[in-house]
């Protein structure tokens, strides 16, 4: 099937995660992406390991670089710099996440490139913006700290915790994708490109949703609550006979069903538990009551019984079990791509389902041009061919 963005040419001057993620999303939807890497080391994440796959490649790099061609160009070399400008002049979209001001200083800024390519959609991803925060390094964990996420993650009174994945980078990459698609829609009607600005900090603040609005609309500064929810109870991890059970009760009907399954239907009508605000106010008492009842059986047994009663509940899977669950449900969570060296690599698939123009998986994450198993110098030619094929 044709992709939703076939014939869209993307030039990716980006590395690590937030910058490469958006071009990969566009590539999955059919765009032709040329990734520019620095000589010698390439994308920083090529060296971020272990773990490595059986070919010695960092799995971190694999996570955000499928469906791309890679070329090596040195921004300090006049000839290579001219080549980047040529590629940008032929591109529909450019994505970059360099230190703010760096590309402007070498003639690759938005104002420079739009003179030759007025329809260019130029997406810049920074940590803290292009002005007052331009000197701050945009690393995900730093943004989680400065942006408040670590202050609400972890146990009460314990050490602040980061999320177990570079979530802010992923969020920024997704916001960048939405911004790029909006700019392309505008270009369809006007012929004009535009600049898309994404900051990690504001991406995080927007993604804090109810925790952010608690502050902005009510003046409440959220604190760490472990696995408890600030506004709903019971919505947390509870102890069963053999381990942990997640219960995510969102309304009074579900709570009544929970109490019935646990053999304590009367709890649902007690004044201190009869409504969600009452349960939140008396959450410690409620937790004690529930865990005393849950101690009678194993977490998996309770999860099955509660699920049958339409109460959201489950055990806590590791990553392998999570992929296994998706397969059991027929969701096919992975795709397999063949590398340039003939070895298959299995990666998580794009979760977007489209009936007419579904995501496609055409290229494994590229080997570093010039290393064994890659096409070496031919990668430069393939980058040219990539853009020329789109223009024909």
pLDDT at residue 233 tops 90: yes
Give the residues across from 337 on adjacent strands.
345
Weakest mean pLDDT among 76-90, 308-322, 329-343: 329-343
* pLDDT at residue 374 in the model: 52
Residue 371 banded pLDDT, cuts 50, 70, 90: low
> Mean pLDDT lowest for which of 112-116, 251-255, 379-383?
379-383
Which of 316, 333, 173 is closest to 243 using CA atoms? 316
Give the pLDDT score at 340. Answer: 84
pLDDT tens for residues 43-74? Answer: 999 999 999 998 889 999 999 999 999 999 99
Mean pLDDT over 75-93 rounds to 97
The per-residue pLDDT for range 157-206, each reduced to its tens digit, is 999 999 999 999 999 999 999 999 999 999 999 999 999 999 999 999 99
C-alpha distances (whole Å) from 281 to each of 227, 232, 233, 277, 284 are 16, 10, 9, 6, 8
In this predicted structure, what is the pLDDT of residue 2?
80
Residue 376 has pLDDT above 80, yes or no: no
The pLDDT of residue 339: 87
* Mean local confidence (pLDDT), 267-282: 97
pLDDT tens per residue across span 249-260: 999 999 999 999
pLDDT at 382 over 60: no
Residue 363 predicted with pLDDT over 90: yes
The helix or strand, by DSSP H or E, that contains position 380, with its residue range, turns out to be helix 378-391
| % of residues, the chain, pLDDT over 70 | 94
- pLDDT of residue 208 exceeding 80, the answer is yes
At 343 the pLDDT is 86
Whole-number pLDDT of residue 247 = 98
321 vs 315: CA distance, rounded Å? 11
What pTM value is reported for the model?
A: 0.91
Q: What is the DSSP string of 59-73?
A: HHHHTT-TTEEEEE-
Per-residue model confidence as pLDDT tens digits over 286-307: 999 999 999 999 999 999 999 9
Distance CA 154, CA 157 (A): 8
Other CB atoms closer than 10 Å to residue 282's CB: what's the count? Answer: 17
Identify which of 167, 294, 286 has the alpha carbon closest to the alpha carbon of residue 240: 294
Q: How far apart are CA 141 and CA 115, in angstroms?
A: 37
Instruction: Return the axis-axis angle of helices 378-391 and 78-90, rounded to nearest 10°.
Output: 30
pLDDT band at 230 (very low <50, low <70, confident <90, very high): very high
Class of domain 235-323: alpha beta
pLDDT bin (cut points 50, 70, 90) of residue 383 is very low
In the chain, domain spans: 9-208+368-391, 235-323
Q: pLDDT tens for residues 120-167? A: 999 999 999 999 999 999 999 999 999 999 999 999 999 999 999 999
Is the pLDDT assigned to residue 359 strictly greater than 50? yes
How far does Cα 37 stand from its chain's mean position?
Answer: 22
pLDDT given at position 342: 86
Beta strand 235-239 with 244-248: parallel, antiparallel or unpaired? antiparallel
Residue 378 has pLDDT above 70, yes or no: no
CATH code: domain 9-208+368-391 is: 3.40.50.10540
Mean pLDDT of the chain: 93
Q: Active-site residues: which are they? A: 169
pLDDT in tens, 18-49: 999 999 999 999 999 999 999 999 999 999 99
């Amino acid at each position: 099937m044709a992709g939703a963005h076939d014939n869209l040419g993307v030039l990716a001057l980006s590395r690590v995660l937030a910058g490469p993620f958006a071009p990969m999303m566009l590539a999955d939807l059919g765009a032709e992406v040329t990734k520019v890497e620095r000589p010698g080391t390439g994308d920083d994440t090529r060296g971020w390991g272990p773990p490595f796959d059986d070919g010695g490649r960092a799995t971190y790099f694999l996570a955000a670089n499928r469906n791309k061609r890679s070329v090596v160009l040195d921004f300090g070399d006049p000839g290579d710099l001219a080549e980047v400008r040529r590629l940008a002049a032929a591109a529909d979209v450019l994505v970059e996440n360099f230190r703010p001001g760096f590309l402007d200083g070498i003639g690759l800024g938005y104002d420079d490139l739009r003179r030759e390519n007025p329809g260019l959609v130029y997406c810049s991803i920074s940590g803290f913006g292009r002005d007052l925060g331009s000197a701050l390094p945009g690393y995900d964990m730093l943004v989680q700290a400065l942006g408040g996420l670590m202050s609400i993650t972890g146990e009460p009174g314990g050490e602040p915790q980061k999320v177990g994945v570079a979530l802010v980078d992923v969020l920024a990459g997704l916001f960048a994708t939405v911004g790029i698609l909006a700019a392309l829609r505008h270009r369809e009607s006007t012929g004009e490109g535009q600049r898309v600005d994404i900051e990690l900090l504001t991406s995080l603040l927007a993604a804090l949703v109810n925790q952010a609005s608690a502050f902005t609309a009510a003046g409440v500064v959220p604190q760490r609550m472990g696995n408890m929810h600030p506004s709903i109870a019971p919505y947390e991890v509870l102890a069963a006979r053999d381990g942990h059970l997640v219960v995510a009760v969102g309304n009074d009907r579900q709570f009544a069903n929970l109490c019935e399954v646990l053999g304590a239907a009367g709890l649902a009508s007690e004044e201190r538990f009869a409504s969600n605000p009452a349960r939140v106010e008396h959450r410690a008492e409620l937790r004690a009551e529930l865990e005393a009842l849950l101690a009678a059986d194993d977490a998996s047994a309770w999860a099955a019984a509660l699920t049958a009663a339409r109460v959201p509940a489950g055990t806590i899977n590791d990553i392998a079990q999570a992929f296994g669950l998706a397969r059991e449900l027929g969701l096919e969570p992975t795709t397999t791509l063949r590398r340039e060296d003939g070895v298959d690599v299995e990666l998580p698939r794009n979760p977007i389902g489209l009936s007419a123009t579904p995501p496609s998986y055409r290229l494994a994450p590229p080997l570093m041009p010039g290393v064994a198993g890659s096409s070496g110098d031919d990668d430069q030619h393939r980058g040219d061919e990539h853009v020329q094929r789109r223009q024909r």
